[in-house]
Amino acid sequence: MVKTVSAMLLLAAAACAGWYFAGVRLDIVTVPGAAQVDVDGKSRGITDGSSGGLTVWFLPHGTHVIAVSAQNYLDASQTVTVPWFEWRRPVQFVLAAPQYNVTVLTQPPDTTVQIDGKDAGVSGPEGSLVLTNVARGEHALVAFHDGYPTWSGTMIVEGPLTFPIDLSTAAAAQEKDIGDRLQQIDQLFVQGQAAEAETQCRALLLQYPGNREILGMLQKVHGSATGTGNPEPPNAPIDLNSPGNSNVPAMGAGTSGGAGMGFGQGNGYGGNTGGLYQVGGRVSAPVAIFQPNAEFSDEARRAKYQGVCIVALIVDTQGNPQNVHVTRSLGMGLDEKAIEAVQQYKFRPALLDGRTPVPVAITIQIDFRLY
């Protein structure tokens, strides 16, 4: 019995000794991958490029120094102590990219600069802005200043850097690009391809929102493409020449809560025989009592496109709008928005001799303005 117990103790001791002398397994993970791993000054391999993993086998128990290095990242190290009873140890490294100071020189001065989508500051009177602790690698820069086109580009940082940004050059390049493309659009228009000219003009306006030259060209080609003639620029006065000669109020709806009253020419026909009445004389004008503002379309808002749309309709004896349609088109989804708004209007109906409600035809001016 004693011999059996002794034998078992010897076997246990041998197992423990084997366990101890077999050493420990290190499961090393690095971010990023493909990093060189040294243990106690000796190379143990390179971590996997995708998973960042590397297993080091049969490392003796005790204290070890693990050093990791990767291209374009700062070196890192850890001291690891593995007790005799431990057989596996996970170790992780997250390597930091080196950081540098970058001096941005802008022309003109007082230019706002963003890096990787975040505000970095405004350049001083000398046009200088110092960006501190910029990590090595590629960064997206954006610069903007009133009266200049927005500049955007890529900056690659490998060390301390001075990076120039010239918005004046960008303005000249933008002006040339707009001029060349407007010339091509005008050629299409002259050749009778008004629809294609309008398509290209819209695309150009989305690239350069609010540009007056593009807006002017769009007004020119849009009128021809829709068969409404060449409409005036958005700020030009409106000259309505629809049939009839009555002064029918034309309600102008703004986009910031305001609604102004104007006068447009009515287009109603008939007297008191059951047809449409014409405002004037014995027939009073309908009065809008509910007048929601027309909303901008997403396309027009992105392009900073604005102007005036004319909508014709019939106000029936209940004060409801009927047969709502556009007589002067703007395009870019604004015609639809104008109709959608006018269809929700509510009126006190026109009255014959101040007593009898009658249907009348009127026009409404919808003024789309970005405030």
Q: In this structure, what are the phi and psi dihedrals at residue 334, rounded to the nearest 5 degrees?
A: -75, -30
CA dist 101 and 160 (Å) reads 5
Instruction: Specify the pLDDT at position 109.
Output: 93
Instruction: Specify the pLDDT at position 192.
Output: 87
Contact by Cβ (8 Å): 338, 331: no
82-110 pLDDT, tens digit each? 898 888 899 999 998 888 999 999 999 99
Amino acid at 23: G
In this prediction, what percent of the chain has a pLDDT beyond 70? 78
Q: Helix or strand or coil: residue 225?
A: helix
Q: List C-alpha distances in Å: 123 to 107, 152, 163, 169, 272.
A: 9, 16, 12, 17, 72
- Phi/psi class of residue 148: alpha, beta or left (left: φ > 0; alpha: ψ in -120 to 50)? beta
**pTM of the predicted structure, to 2 decimals:** 0.42
**Torsion sign, CA atoms 41, 47, 52, 53:** negative
131-189 pLDDT, tens digit each? 999 988 889 888 888 878 778 888 999 889 999 999 888 778 888 888 888 998 888 88
What domains are there in the chain, each with its CATH number? 20-94 (2.60.40.10), 99-168 (2.60.40.10), 170-226 (no CATH), 247-368 (3.30.2420.10)
Q: In this structure, what are the phi and psi dihedrals at residue 301, rounded to the nearest 5 degrees?
A: -65, -40
Contact by Cβ (8 Å): 301, 370: yes
Candidate from 17-21, 205-209, 300-304, 358-362 with smallest mean pLDDT: 17-21
